[in-house]
Amino acid sequence: MSLVISHLARRFGATQVLRGIDLTVDQGELIALLGPSGSGKTTLLRIIAGLDWPDAGGLSFDGADWLAKSAAERRIGFVFQHYALFPHMTVRDNIAFGLSVLPRSDRPAKAQIASTVDGLLSFLQIEGLADRYPAELSGGQRQRVALGRAMAINPRVLLLDEPFGALDAQVRRDLRRWLRGVHDSAGTTSIFVTHDQEEAFELADRVVVMNGGVIEQTGHPDEIYDHPATSFVARFLGLTVEVPVTMRAGRAQAAGIDLSALPRRAMADGPATLFLRPADILPVPDPQAPFRVTEIASTGALLRVVAQDDAGCRIEAEVPRREGRDLRKGQPVALRPAAGQIFPGGPQTAAVPIQTPMTLKEARP
């Protein structure tokens, strides 16, 4: 029982939104499609749902070709980013909708629909809201109702488009844990789309990082976090510091940077680029070092330290404030990264801006 996506491509006018997606999702898995906006993740989700069709490629579930089936025939549960609850129906009627539109021959009796809805209401912990209208609910409550409505038809796959995108941070964290619980106890296969790395990592069994219509990396959250497969994933996961290094006998070398903590890599000698997280870099006072502290700013718990060498290489580090007490502006420092990722090839030209990864910060109201 698995969902198999092969070589899926989709173009909107001149824009190639998906460029050959291959992915297999196993029964009971919770998958996150993670990527910046425009990466094609929502389009992929909509194609799985049957709300959009690819130009090329295949999609099958349990051996059945899903591209030949309509959204209704696929029996998927789709939770929309803005919930799309029917405004003229009560919570109860919203959740019952999928059952009440079944052909008369398959439709459960009224009493049976009511008991299914009651079961879902208590499962989703919203018993008290049964007779309210969507306009009378908070964002978090609407989210639960939307999920209930999608689950009522006992979907083969549950698809969630930015499920927490429109909620504030606290509600978002609570709902995230709650959704994980719901997924585990319902035992469905679920795929959700998010641009929030933290959300994807906390919730998913497997994270699929997408960019520009292709899958950059698929894997367990920790695996992706520790070993980003491409420079895009590295940048997206917060390895925002890029340093040109030279590989020699499997070790990276750069003036003023102590790279002894990094493991030996099976890479050919030559220029390479080292990706670092600011929090993994420790500036150590060293009168011989080529780097000088040019900026220090406190965020309360952390010190944001910027060091620069004469060649103009600018490196940002984040140090716990207690450990950075001796740092002064203008002081020469050596940099000691605790972890990093190396990709062959020199730094891409200035065309690559150091992007802050998309996090919930920007969506926060």
List residues binding another protein (CB under 8 A): 49-51, 70-72, 75-78, 80, 82-89, 97-98, 101-102, 132-133, 135-136, 149-150, 152-153
Q: Which two tokens stand for residue 26?
A: 């196993």
Q: Which is nearer to another protein, 150 or 293 (CB)?
A: 150
Question: What is the rounded CA–CA span in Å between residue 318 and residue 335?
Answer: 12
Q: Helix (H, G, I), strand (E, B), or coil: what is residue 205?
A: coil
List, as one string, the DSSP characters of 231-277.
HHHHHHTT--EEEEEEEETTEEEBTTB--TTSPP----SEEEEEEE-
Q: How far is the CB of 46 from another protein (least distance, A)?
A: 8
Q: Which two tokens stand for residue 155?
A: 């979907």
Question: Residue 330: which residues within 8 A CB-CB, separation 6 or more?
Answer: 292, 293, 294
Q: Helix (H, G, I), strand (E, B), or coil: what is residue 45?
A: helix
Q: How far is the CB of 130 from another protein (least distance, A)?
A: 14
Tell me whether residue 318 is exposed, middle or buried, using C-beta atoms within 10 angstroms of its C-beta: 0 to 12, 13 to 18, 19 or more: middle
Q: How far is the CB of 124 from another protein (least distance, A)?
A: 16
Q: Give bridge partners of residue 332 from the DSSP assignment.
A: 292
Q: How far is the CB of 109 from another protein (least distance, A)?
A: 17
Q: How far is the CB of 180 from another protein (least distance, A)?
A: 23
Question: Residue 41: which residues within 8 A CB-CB, separation 6 or more?
Answer: 33, 34, 35, 193, 210
Question: What is the rounded CA–CA span in Å between residue 97 and residue 9?
Answer: 33
Q: How far is the CB of 299 from another protein (least distance, A)?
A: 26
Residues 336, 285 contacting (CB under 8 angstroms): no
Q: How far is the CB of 204 from another protein (least distance, A)?
A: 22
Q: Which is nearer to another protein, 109 or 135 (CB)?
A: 135
- Please choose, from the candidates 217, 212, 256, 254, the residue with its C-alpha nearest in 3D space to the C-alpha of residue 237: 217
Q: Which is nearer to another protein, 126 or 272 (CB)?
A: 126
Question: What is the rounded CA–CA span in Å between residue 143 and residue 149?
Answer: 10
Q: Which is nearer to another protein, 9 or 89 (CB)?
A: 89
Q: Which is nearer to another protein, 84 or 186 (CB)?
A: 84
Q: How far is the CB of 87 from another protein (least distance, A)?
A: 5
Q: Which is nearer to another protein, 76 or 334 (CB)?
A: 76
Q: How many residues does the chain have?
A: 365
Q: Which is nearer to another protein, 70 or 349 (CB)?
A: 70
Q: Which is nearer to another protein, 87 or 330 (CB)?
A: 87
